Amino acid sequence: MPPTVPKQVYDYLVIGGGSGGLASARRASGIHRAKVALVEAQNRLGGTCVNVGCVPKKVMWNTSAIAEAIRDAPSYGFKIDGKPGFDWGYLKAKRDAYVKRLNGIYERNLKNDNIEHIHGWARFVSPTTVRVEPPSAEAFEIEAKNILIATGGHPIIPDIPGAELGIDSDGFFDLESQPKRVAVIGTGYIGIELAGIFNSLGTETTVFSRTTHILRHFDSIIRDNLLKEMVSVGVNFAYNSKVTALRKEASGIVVEYESDGKQDRLEVDCVLWAVGRAPNVKGLDLDAANIKTDEKGHIVVDEYQQTSTPGVLALGDACGNHELTPVAIAAGRKLSDRLFGGERFRNAKLEYENIPTVVFSHPTAGTVGLTEEQAREKYGDQNVKVYTSKFVNMYFSMLDHKEPTAYKLVVTGPEEKVVGVHLFGRDSDEILQGFGVAVRMGATKADLDNCVAIHPTAAEELVTMR
């Protein structure tokens, strides 16, 4: 409901009810007792992560991992008669119900922390005033001493003929049934993750890449091994390709594309665009508050999340710096500590270095710190040393398919400080977190060597490399 008093003044107004906005609002009100309001345009809280990102994606990844385990089971002596069926619609209903329950939890959390939740579209009137347009009520204005923009981002659909015939990553979670044939256009982590899910669940999957590589921002030990593994388990790749049009036919969607200078086509049941994301800033009327953006539309901020306008802050995907949910959450909490926590927190800020991240591919991959290429560029070839290990996880000892695991440590200087850890292989997602702490603490190769290995595990390779 809108405030009963026009132009009510708050200590903190948060625009956006995603992970970053919620975390910052709750820290400001629940811990520091600031007077806080949060404006969200959608009819559900949680933003991308909860509704069409991390959470439902992990449910789908778990589902596909179970499908793989079922296929592996006979090699461990289990008798499985016939081909197990999979009901996509049943899972979708359960997954949607789980997400809806989380939406309710977020709503109750705001109430418990005395945060006023306002449903509507926000736009700036001035650096201290926002006009809110509810979906079914008159617009009104809110004034705040501090305003946070945490509006997130959205998937990009390219401007080509028939592009609307495809879906984006949001649309993936709207699919009521499993497509038999799918084209995934894009090789960033979103495209690679969803392609892996489709393939593991039995969909004939083709990935379109503008180059001969995937995950271009990741270390080569991840890029190269994952691409090879995806090919080995049946994912098709169209390399050096450029999709030029989509066309609807009676039997499916035709993807028209160029590859190595030649025209080609592929018919599928579903096309998924995974070609990037853009910030949700349209309609905010940033000019009214003199807020600067970069060439891609991201809001420009300094190390303290401060925009070009005093009193207006921004974080998360709207800024384009490490577009990850935990990053937005951490930045939001640090920001509220600085704004409302007093002298103790006057310099609080998130350090955007050595941030661990994981790709929920098949198998998973994880990385923290510098890639080998980045380290050599920063420190010089003569000051960088690399330790690697490639092996077969013991899980596959009973299987015909020998999925590889590959790890890399990037170290620098005579003390061999660890500046990069790159993992590819089963359980990399769970292994990385602890090594992320080690890198943040400045661990050296000797520190890892001095840790007794846990046997038999894959992770022990990280403390036994020579």
The residues annotated with a catalytic role in the active site are 455
Helix (H, G, I), strand (E, B) or coil at 143: strand
Helix (H, G, I), strand (E, B) or coil at 56: helix
Task: For tokens 């200590």, name the residue.
Answer: 11
What residues have CB less than 8 Å from 171, skipping those under 6 apart?
272
Q: Rounded to whole angstroms, how far apart are CA atoms 2 and 424?
A: 50
Helix 54-72 and helix 189-200: axis angle, to 10°?
40
Q: Shortest CA distance to 278 belongs to which of 266, 294, 263?
A: 294
Task: For tokens 């990741």, name the residue.
Answer: 218
Q: Rounded to whole angstroms, how far apart are CA atoms 273 and 432?
A: 29
Strands 116-119 and 270-273: unpaired
DSSP 114: T
Question: What is the DSSP secondary-structure string of 166-185?
Answer: SB-HHHHTT-SS--SEEEEE
Helix (H, G, I), strand (E, B) or coil at 353: coil
Measured distance between the N- and C-terminal CA atoms of the chain, rounded to whole angstroms: 63
* C-beta separation of 28 from 339 below 8 A: yes
* C-beta separation of 47 from 152 below 8 A: yes
What residues have CB less than 8 Å from 414, skipping those under 6 apart?
none
DSSP 189: H
Q: Sign of the C-alpha dihedral, residues 81, 83, 89, 91?
A: positive
CA atoms within 13 A on the CB side of 292: 10
